[in-house]
Amino acid sequence: GAILLWLRRDFRLADHPALAAAAASGRPVIPVFVLDPVAEVWGAAPRWRLGEALAAFAAALDRIGARLVLRRGAALDTLLALIAETGATAVYWSRDLNPAAKARDTAVKAALKAAGVEARSFPGQVLFDPWTVETGQGGPYRVYTPFWKAVRGRDPGAPLPPVTALRPPATAPASEALADWRLGAAMNRGAAVVARHAQVGEATALARLDRFLETGIAGYAERRDLPAEPGTSGLSENLAWGEISARTIWHAGRRAMDAGAAGAETFLKELVWRDFAWHLMAHFPELGSRNWRPEWDAFPWQGDSPAAERWRRGQTGAPLVDAAMRELFITGTMHNRARMIAASYLTKHLLTDWRVGLAWFAETLIDWDPASNAMGWQWVAGSGPDASPFFRIFNPEGQAAKFDPDGRYRQHYLAAGAPGAQAFFAAAPRSWNLDPAAPPPAPLVDLAEGRARALAAYQALKG
Ligand code: FAD
């Protein structure tokens, strides 16, 4: 019988263990994506980016003679219906460590098995499956450096070559039309603007990696913290959709390191932060919804508010924060340094619950990754494992002087008529009522006062 290859966030032909196993079986393979309740709740930008990923991967499958089947509905019911239609006898997929996906997959696997269907899940999302990395005492890691030490000498295995042909089923099952799903609808005016920055698909991801190896990796350690520089790989967008495997990137970084590229080890360390985030999330599924340190439940976090709304719209009056929020809105990504500063401003200067910020990132990031997003927010807020101490409050002005010394990043997004500013006003919803000619907003909070207020709240929590 045929194999259903149930795709989720693994849109690549190379180093895709589930796909490789299906291809190697010699049986007919039916690739299918199900828009199910787990994906239906994703934010506007991830849903839009999903549509782009699906279109690109459908074309890639087409080139190897396979047709991507699109269906919408509850995963199990949809898979069972396809099995009934096609006579398929197996379902293969890549494990997804996102708690919502994991819960769904566990139930699907049990039900398929009960129905006599072969159900097999494969690795591929991370370098090292979370349960294979344990501390000396036998539990999960909570601190990054020992995690890094535990895995840095490990070989995640050689990447699998791209699959070049799939045996088609006798009759291809019907597919829904991608356009009918209107996955970009919630992007409002923003989709066209974000589309100019997105780099979609496996071939593009591999080209991005090559470019980074040629021009970026050597100077990575020095340039990676400068938001105005193209000093990082940009690969998070492709990793988020599985358009390239972490293992492919890991091996490329490793080769660069062996060849003496100065920034290569720093780069590998960053890549392993992504694995660490999934490690944390796999062991602590509430990483994205609860304070990791329960004592933080007593912190006077404020919920959503007009101030948070000004933060989302890039109207805080702290120029680096506003530039960062505009970058997010029009590119669907934000430089890592800027993410830390914008998140610190929201959680500390505005004393706003980190989950308010996490939700906005989940709405607007095309590299949205539930584990890295959750770890990043809890790290900045101080509530997370291995978090930066709360009292270390980023001063947006000091950070700007250090990491955007010539003001290029801020000007690009804030100066009247600058490309980033123009793109922002083109993308912003009309309901925001923004006036491109208006003077910069007055600061929402005096930086010193905001800092003092945050420290007082922290002292109260400690006391
Ligand atoms: P590079 O510097 O080229 O690094 C290579 C790869 O290493 C990245 O693609 C990424 O996979 C990984 N990596 C680098 N830094 C980190 C980090 N701090 N944490 C985890 N992995 C890292 N990253 C996401 O992919 N999705 C998110 O939703 C996300 N949300 C974040 C929220 C906050 C508040 C913070 C502080 C960070 C968040 N990050 C997130 C991590 C980081 O900002 C991005 O991974 C990074 O900016 C991606 O750019 P790059 O691909 O050019 O990275």
Domains annotated for the chain, with CATH where assigned, are: 1-124 (3.40.50.620), 126-157+189-283 (1.25.40.80), 294-462 (1.10.579.10)
**DSSP for 10-35, written as a single string:** ---SSS-HHHHHHHHT-S-EEEEEEE
Confidence band of 391 (pLDDT split at 50, 70, 90): confident
* Amino acid 188: pLDDT: 84
Confidence band of 199 (pLDDT split at 50, 70, 90): very high
For ligand 1, atom 6, the nearest C-alpha belongs to 271
Query: What is the distance between the alpha carbons of residues 221 and 133, in angstroms, rounded to a whole number?
Result: 27
Confidence band of 462 (pLDDT split at 50, 70, 90): confident
Helix (H, G, I), strand (E, B) or coil at 81: helix
Query: What is the distance between the alpha carbons of residues 25 and 140, in angstroms, rounded to a whole number?
Result: 35
**387 pLDDT above the threshold of 80:** no
Burial of residue 73 (CB within 10 Å: 0-12, 13-18, 19+) is: middle
Q: Which whole number is the average pLDDT over 22-49?
A: 97
Average pLDDT, the chain: 96
How many CB atoms are closer than 10 A to CB 80? 17
* Amino acid 407: pLDDT: 98
Distance (Å) from CA 23 to ligand 1 centroid? 32
| Binding residue ranges | 220, 232-236, 267, 367-369
Confidence band of 388 (pLDDT split at 50, 70, 90): confident
Closest ligand 1 atom number to CA of residue 240: 25
Confidence band of 341 (pLDDT split at 50, 70, 90): very high
User: Within 6 Å (CB) of ligand 1, which residues are found?
Assistant: 224, 232-236, 239-240, 270-271, 273-274, 277, 336, 339-340, 343, 361, 365, 367-369, 372-373, 376-377, 380
Query: Which residue's structure tokens are 């293992």?
Result: 247
Query: Residues 383, 291: contact at Cβ < 8 Å?
Result: yes
For ligand 1, atom 29, the nearest C-alpha belongs to 373
Distance (Å) from CA 368 to ligand 1 centroid? 9
Q: Which whole number is the average pLDDT over 211-231?
A: 96
Query: Candidates 325, 372, 375: which one to mutate for ligand 1, based on the most atoms within 8 Å of Cβ?
Result: 372
* Amino acid 189: pLDDT: 85
**173 pLDDT above the threshold of 90:** yes
Distance (Å) from CA 204 to ligand 1 centroid? 19
CA angle 313, 315, 318 (to 5 degrees): 130
For ligand 1, atom 47, the nearest C-alpha belongs to 336
Helix (H, G, I), strand (E, B) or coil at 351: coil
